[in-house]
């Protein structure tokens, strides 16, 4: 019997959950539990880390998982690497849903950097009003540059205190529109955006708005993830599910 573990935390994971439920799949949706406002979805759910590769291996065995769908965010590289390692050893089929990375249009003013540290390094030397659109996990790295004003956009309440002397947080959950992001950039008189190259439609709005307003962007490249099977659409994931090797009998 096919039993699926869906690693989530993205809009596409929630869409996949709906698609799996619609076809009556036996599937468990796993969240890291970083945000408090968990979106409602129709599958059985578990929340929290597995305890590294060994913990995930144990979980796959205990739950008799035959297929893992990794629909985590492209920057959730640790979870994805753990999934590759655990599935390999346990002989579980794995497919990752991977959004296409964004690439620049001619009018975009992007500086591409390899990681968070390089983004901090690439900040201007003079005080600047920055939209720091990177979520909440890596904010501390920017505390080294307190001369800037930082606008944050977070899903949950902002950390208190914020690690910057000049900052404001708006609490909002995507997807966003170009129009509303343009209004946000204008309201806060933003001069520079720092963002992750997440890909996807809803998070792209800020880049489209930046292009219209001529605002430069420091765009952080995705972290490397070990080689794995990848699907670029929800349909492709479902197709893989239907055609992946049939589950072997798992030892009891
Ligand atoms: P990460 O650095 O790759 O993962 C750190 C640890 O969190 C993992 O080793 C695992 O703990 C646990 N974990 C992550 N995703 C999990 C899941 N879906 N189910 C159960 N445990 C999970 O990931 P992250 O960057 O902290 O992201 C955490 C979650 O937020 C992910 O689900 C991701 O999709 C979502 N998210 C991340 C970003 C981002 O920019 N990083 C943006 C939007 C959404 P154990 O080692 O104990 O198993």
pLDDT computed for residue 174 by the predictor? 83
CATH number of the domain residue 164 falls in: 3.40.50.720
CA pair distance 123, 143, nearest whole angstrom: 12
105: in domain: no
Residues 141 and 184 in one domain: yes
Please name every residue paired with 93 in a beta bridge, in sequence order, or none if there are none.
67
Q: How far is the CA of 171 from the centre of ligand 1 (A)?
A: 20
Pocket probe mutation, ligand 1, options 29, 34, 79, 138, max atoms within 8 Å of Cβ = 79
Q: How many domains does the chain have?
A: 2
State the pLDDT at residue 7.
98
**Does residue 124 share a domain with residue 216?**
yes
**What is the Cα–Cα distance from 142 to 119, expressed in whole angstroms?**
9
Asked whether residue 120 is domain-assigned, the answer is yes
Q: Does residue 19 sit in the same domain as residue 72?
A: yes
Local mean pLDDT, 10-residue blocks, the chain (252 residues): 94 94 97 76 94 98 98 97 98 96 96 98 98 95 98 93 96 92 98 96 93 98 97 95 69 38
The model carries a pTM of 0.92
Whether residue 166 lies inside any domain: the answer is: yes
What pLDDT, on a 0 to 100 scale, did the predictor assign at position 40? 76
pLDDT at 97: 96
pLDDT given for residue 182 in this prediction: 98
How many angstroms separate the CA atoms of 231 and 252, rounded?
A: 31
Residues 95 and 124 in one domain: no
**Cβ proximity of 150 and 166 under 8 Å:** yes
Minimal-distance CA residue to ligand 1 atom 31: 9
SS3 15: helix
Q: Which domain holds residue 204?
A: 110-220
């Amino acid at each position: 019997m096919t039993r699926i573990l869906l690693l989530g935390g993205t809009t596409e994971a929630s869409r996949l959950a709906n698609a799996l439920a619609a076809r009556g799949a036996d599937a468990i949706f796993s969240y890291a539990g970083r945000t408090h406002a968990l979106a409602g979805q129709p599958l059985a759910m578990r929340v929290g880390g597995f305890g590294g590769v060994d913990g995930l291996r144990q979980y796959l065995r205990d739950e008799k998982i035959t297929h893992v769908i990794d629909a985590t965010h492209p920057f959730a590289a640790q979870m994805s690497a753990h999934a590759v390692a655990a599935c390999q050893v346990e002989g579980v089929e794995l497919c990752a849903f991977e959004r296409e990375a964004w690439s620049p249009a001619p009018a975009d003013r992007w500086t591409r950097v390899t990681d968070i540290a390089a983004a901090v390094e690439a900040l201007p030397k003079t005080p600047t009003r920055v939209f720091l659109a990177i979520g909440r996990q890596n904010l501390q790295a920017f505390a080294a540059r307190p001369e800037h004003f930082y606008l944050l956009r977070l899903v949950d309440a902002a950390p208190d205190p914020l690690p910057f002397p000049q900052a404001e947080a708006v609490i909002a959950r995507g997807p966003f529109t170009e129009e509303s992001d343009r209004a946000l950039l204008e309201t806060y008189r933003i001069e520079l955006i720092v963002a992750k190259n997440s890909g996807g439609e809803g998070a792209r709005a800020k880049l489209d708005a930046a292009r219209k307003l001529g605002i430069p962007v420091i765009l952080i490249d995705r972290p490397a993830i070990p080689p794995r099977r990848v699907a670029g659409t929800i349909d492709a994931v479902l197709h893989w599910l239907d055609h992946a090797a049939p589950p072997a009998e798992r030892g009891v």
